[in-house]
Amino acid sequence: MPREVIEYDLSEDAKACPCCQGELHAIGIETSEQLEIIPKQVKVLCHERKKYACRHCENHGEGSKIITALMPRQPLPGSIATAGTLATISTQKIS
C-alpha cells in the first residue's frame, strides 16, 4: 500500500529546554499510522512526530524532559481511521 509521510517538528523557539534554556537535540521520532480512503484508492498516512531532549540536563544529572512535536487532533483517538475514512464508511453504510 502506498504511504505518505507527514512530519511534525517543534518550532525553532520551542527547541529550548524548559528547565535550563539549553538547546534541545533530536532523540527519535514517534510514529503513528492512519488509513486514508480516497474513492478507488487507499493509502497509509504515516505521522512522524520528532522528539527532543536537552544534552545539558542529561549531562548534569538534572534529567532531561522529552519534548515531542504536536500533531492535529484525530477524530477518533487511538483509531487508524482519518475523518475521510470515517465519512466514506458512514456513506457506504447508508447507501
> What pTM, to 2 d.p., does this model score?
0.61
Q: Are strands 24-38 and 41-54 parallel, antiparallel or unpaired?
A: antiparallel
Neighbouring CB atoms inside 10 A of 74's CB total: 15
Q: For the CA atoms of 13, 66, 48, 33, what is the dihedral angle to 10 degrees?
A: -140
Tell me, what's the pLDDT at 95? Answer: 67
Tell me, what's the pLDDT at 40? Answer: 78
Structural domain boundaries, residue 55:
3-94
- Dist. CA 42–CA 65, nearest whole Å: 38
Report how many domains make up the chain: 1
Tell me, what's the pLDDT at 7? Answer: 96
pLDDT single digits (tens) 18-71: 889 999 999 999 999 999 887 778 899 999 999 999 988 888 877 788 999 999
